[in-house]
Amino acid sequence: MTTIEQPVATVRLDELPPRVCAVVRSVETADEDTNRLKTLGVCVGRRVELVRAGNPLILKIFGSRLGLSAELAARVRVEICQPGHCALRENEGA
């Protein structure tokens, strides 16, 4: 059996609908901003949830909430988690 992988669709973090989980797939910023985002926990492979849209937008990462400017969030691309396959949701009940 041959499996054909579909290309992964990504959206900008500032376009993510509220209360939706996603995985960070790329960060397109200058080195200083990339380091700042990493310090905040926003890095490739990290699961995030948009709690509130706006400027600043509010993200949930590791159970903590943080504010991020919409300008910086626009440089982060995320892949929306599939329903039933989100680590953030699985860990909330624990």
Domains of the chain: 11-92 (2.30.30.90)
- Name the pTM for this structure: 0.78
Q: Which tokens is 40 given? A: 């905040």
Cis amide leading into 56 (omega within 30): yes
- Distance CA(22)–CA(45), nearest Å, equals 10
- Distance CA(16)–CA(18), nearest Å, equals 6
What's at 78, amino acid-wise?
V
Q: What is the pLDDT of residue 68?
A: 93
**What is the residue-level pLDDT of the chain in tens, covering all 94 positions?**
554 445 568 899 999 999 989 999 999 988 888 888 888 899 999 999 999 999 999 999 988 999 999 999 999 999 998 776 665 444 444 3
What's the Cα-to-Cα distance from 91 to each of 14, 33, 35, 87, 88, rounded to whole Å? 24, 29, 27, 6, 5
- Distance CA(21)–CA(27), nearest Å, equals 17
Strand pairing category for 47-52 and 64-68: unpaired
